């Protein structure tokens, strides 16, 4: 076991309140392209060009087709050992909170309870007029994008660039952040706010930050421990390390 891994496990042994934040990297091993990775382009569009209210206003069909493409991949995907390890961590740390930036719904499929999908969920749709949400599977798909009963276009119930996160979702996230003594940040490039600011805030409150990523990110400068590799390998190894520690004591 590496020194960094030992330090992470040692910290977790005394952690009272654990907050986990995840990004697209945790779902990469389920076969879902990340946003900023080499496979993140769709028909030469970057996520930032399509995931905006302006793109939807200008060309709703293209934006909807992009989400259909992502839903097609995600629909066949399964939670991977990284997702399952976080569910195991929830059993070990009963107050654990998970904030995910992912809209793929894979964490939810592990049965995890305390989860905030801070950027929404692409299996839900929302009326562009009155904001009412429903599950996509309950909506008759007569056109692309489908329309609400009121006649207005339905859009994915996700947060786009330039949009605000719902205030109660944001409040819950900030509460979880201020309560935690250890933050584990997994598979995010750490460039999209507000999540990008959480590691520094947790450090400012005297907390400890563990990063899990394939490569260094802006979070690495702030993190107390950085574990480089696949989250599907590292997170189960952390769980096993904690189990071994507990068996010793």
Residues that bind ligand OAD (CB under 6 A): 23-25, 28-29, 34-37, 40, 47, 51, 101, 119, 159-161, 187-189, 192, 212-215, 217, 230-231
CB of 235 to ligand OAD, least distance (A): 9
Nearest to ligand OAD of 17, 172 (CB atom): 172
Nearest CA among 129, 123, 119, 187 for reference residue 153: 129
Nearest to ligand OAD of 25, 199 (CB atom): 25
CB 221 within 8 A of CB 57: no
Nearest to ligand OAD of 98, 206 (CB atom): 98
Compute and round to an integer the Cα radius of gyration of the chain. Answer: 19
Concerning whether 84 is annotated as a catalytic residue, the answer is: no
Closest residue to ligand OAD, judged by C-beta, is 25
Residue 7 tokens, joined: 């330090």
CB of 206 to ligand OAD, least distance (A): 25
CA 204 to chain CA mean position, Å: 23
Residue 107 tokens, joined: 């964490």
Residue 233 tokens, joined: 């390998």
How far apart are alpha carbons 77 and 56 in whole angstroms? 26
Q: Which entry of 83, 84, 107, 119 is annotated as an active-site residue?
A: 119
Q: Which residues are catalytic?
A: 119
């Amino acid at each position: 076991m590496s020194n960094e891994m030992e330090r992470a496990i040692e910290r977790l042994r005394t952690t009272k309140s654990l907050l986990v934040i995840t990004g697209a990297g945790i779902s990469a091993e389920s076969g879902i392209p990340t946003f900023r990775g080499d496979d993140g382009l769709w028909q030469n569009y970057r996520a930032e060009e399509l995931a905006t209210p302006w793109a939807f206003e200008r060309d709703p069909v293209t934006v909807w087709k992009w989400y259909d493409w992502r839903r097609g991949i995600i629909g066949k995907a399964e939670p991977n050992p990284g997702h399952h390890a976080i569910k195991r961590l929830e059993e070990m740390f009963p107050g654990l909170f998970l904030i995910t930036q992912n809209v793929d719904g894979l964490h939810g499929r592990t049965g995890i309870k305390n989860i905030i999908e801070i950027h929404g969920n692409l299996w839900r749709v929302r009326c562009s007029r009155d904001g009412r949400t429903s599950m996509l599977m309950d909506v008759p798909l007569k056109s692309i994008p489908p329309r609400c009963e009121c006649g207005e276009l339905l859009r994915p119930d996700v947060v786009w660039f330039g949009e605000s996160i719902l205030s109660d979702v944001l409040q819950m996230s900030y509460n979880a952040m201020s309560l935690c003594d250890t933050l584990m940040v997994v598979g995010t490039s750490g460039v999209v706010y507000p999540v990008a600011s959480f590691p520094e805030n947790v450090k400012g409150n005297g907390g400890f930050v563990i990063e899990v990523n394939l490569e260094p990110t802006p979070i690495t400068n702030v993190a107390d421990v950085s574990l480089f590799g696949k989250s599907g390998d590292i997170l189960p190894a952390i769980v096993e390390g904690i189990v071994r520690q507990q068996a010793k004591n």
